[in-house]
Amino acid sequence: MTDLSEPLQGLWLPLITPFRDGKLDEQSLRRLVRHYASGPVDGLILGATSGEGMSLAICELEQLVEVVRSEINDVGRYLPICLGLSGASTAKIKDVLDETAAWPIDFYLIASPYYVRPSQRGLLQHFTELADHASWPLLIYNIPYRTAVNITNETLLALAEHPNIVGMKDCCADRAQSIDFLAQRPPGFRVLTGEDAQYFDALSDGADGAILLSAHVETEAFALVRSLLRQGKREAASAAWQGISDLTRLLFVEPSPAPAKHWLWRTGLIDSAEVRLPMVEVSMELAARLDREIERRSRQREDSLVVPALSRDP
């Protein structure tokens, strides 16, 4: 792709990675891709936090990408793929960039180095080296509550000038910082929020879209919120948001993606809620809460489909 500005907007799904008996569950993965590719999803993130990417071997990442791309091709709809990468060593990530250079992806999502807490100068050099080296364009992933370092707007603005850095997943958890960056970013540089609970606010502030784990559930409703805001129907968008905002809390009561996997398993999209250590499946208490919410929303959908009986003259 020569211009990623157009696809880098809308609703992106950080696809969970289904497992069965310790291995990647290809059958469930294909079912997931067919389901979401037929809906209002604008792109897929693979192997990132929600996809338990840090637990995947490089051969599993390759299998994941190949299966997803194959299924998308069979659906007959173009859907861009982003590969999530993370690590604390610039050199090691460059090695992974070399290993994945020929994979059928569109760009990378790369988190800032975790644990080592580099300076802003170090972050600037780190991402610059990766962008210089990568065969595919980069999105920067700023998530300081996981990496222990925040990329300041000064550093982000410098990186945004790099021709191979085309956007950012914003999880800085500081709305003032996000608004300031949106006001200063160069033309064409895309910002997608990754804060599920702040989806409505981020779109209202000018974000181009979102990467939301919660959108595995009620996908159409999440897409509707953005559509209504773009039409200038703020009250309707707010009402639609109120109907799903509780999901952005429920699905994070325990470490993600275990709650979402439980939901997808119970609704038949995947064959197992299995996660990989150190992640564990949801507690019995949360499982019961999730099951009740699944049932409530199922009844709600059924009620909405009931057609009132036609009135008749006596």
- Give catalytic residues, as residue numbers: 141, 169
152 to 135, 156, 159, 169: CA distances (angstroms): 26, 6, 11, 14
- What distance in Å separates the CA atoms of residue 186 and residue 255, rounded to the nearest whole number? 35
Helices marked H in the chain — which ranges? 26-37, 58-75, 90-99, 120-133, 144-147, 153-159, 175-184, 199-205, 219-230, 234-242, 247-250, 258-266, 284-305
Cis omega before residue 113 (within 30°)? no
The alpha carbon torsion through 213, 176, 119, 98 (nearest 10 deg) reads 30
Rounded to the nearest angstrom, the gap between the alpha carbon of residue 8 and the centroid of all alpha carbons in its chain is 12
One-letter amino acid at 258 equals A
- What distance in Å separates the CA atoms of residue 192 and residue 175, rounded to the nearest whole number? 13
Cis omega before residue 14 (within 30°)? no
- What distance in Å separates the CA atoms of residue 81 and residue 67, rounded to the nearest whole number? 12
